[in-house]
Amino acid sequence: MTVDPHLDPAVRHDMVFLFDIADGNPNGDPDFANRPRMDVETGHGLVTDVAIKRKIRNTLPLAADGDPRYGIFVEAGHALNTRLAESLTAARVTDKKKPTPEQKQAARSWLTDTYADIRLFGAVLSTGDTKSLGQIYGPLQVANARSYHPIMPQQHAITRVTQTRQEDIDRGESTEMGGKWTVPYGLYKAEIYYSAARGAQTGVDSRDLELLYRTLEMMFDHDRSAARGTMTARGLYVFSHDNAFGNAPAHKLTERVQVSLAGHVEGSPRSFGDYTVNAADGDLPRGVTLAKLVA
């Protein structure tokens, strides 16, 4: 059976993911009153790898349509130690502090088979009674996203028509003040790298990659909120090598995706239509293919 190059888990993949935000906050900083994250020197917007992976975790099980192989390990409302203890039970470990090497490997295999985010991102397993399980290094590495142009965060005062405390109502207060931050517009780029060697260790298969790409394309549609405004996937470009080691440095491939302002734009960009995207697929290094999955 022939597998499309971008779906082959046995080879290296280097990806460029573009997304934008309109009138929302793509990733607030809790240390600065939830202000959108920025590079303070250049003014470019930032979205952390953690925020991107959270959206992938939230959406991947939906794309998998109930397949039990796509459980999520780092999930709100679930203690990690409890799930790690389940892996020891599945591996039939009797002495949790001194499992045999075979039992440790069985527990780690159970975790990668059960939880898609461990299979893709890896996990630290040395907590609680599972210190001997160590760490699983995931094949998928997500870099922080950065906007192409400086952003101009705006703070908005908002009011609520009821109070939090009864005593405030008794004093005659009728509204309560609050605030929210938004970015009028920003186009962001994140780079994602897949290691075939580590993918073989965690058991990544073609369906994992297929669902990952579908999740990146659709995840903002399943993560709507008033605070985030409108977020949209604008580009997903996958450079696939024909072997696990790779045929060219990643930066020489990802730099082929060029984003520039359209000729009609004067001043700050305010929509995706203000940009021109060109993913150069001519004269690629031997053994490298480019799949334009969202363009």
pTM assigned to the model: 0.92
pLDDT of 52-90, one tens digit each? Answer: 999 999 999 999 999 999 999 999 889 888 899 899 899
The residue ranges of every structural domain in the chain are 1-48+184-295, 50-143
**103-111 mean pLDDT:** 94
With residue 269 as reference, give the H or E element that holds it: none
List, for residues 132-145, the tens digit of each pLDDT value.
788 999 999 999 99
Say how far apart CA 66 and CA 88 lie, in whole Å. 24
Per-residue model confidence (pLDDT) at position 130: 67
| Rounded distance between C-alpha atoms, residue 108 and residue 136, angstroms | 8
pLDDT of residue 35 exceeding 90, the answer is yes
| Residue 99 CB partners (closer than 8 Å, separation 6+) | 88, 91, 93, 107, 132
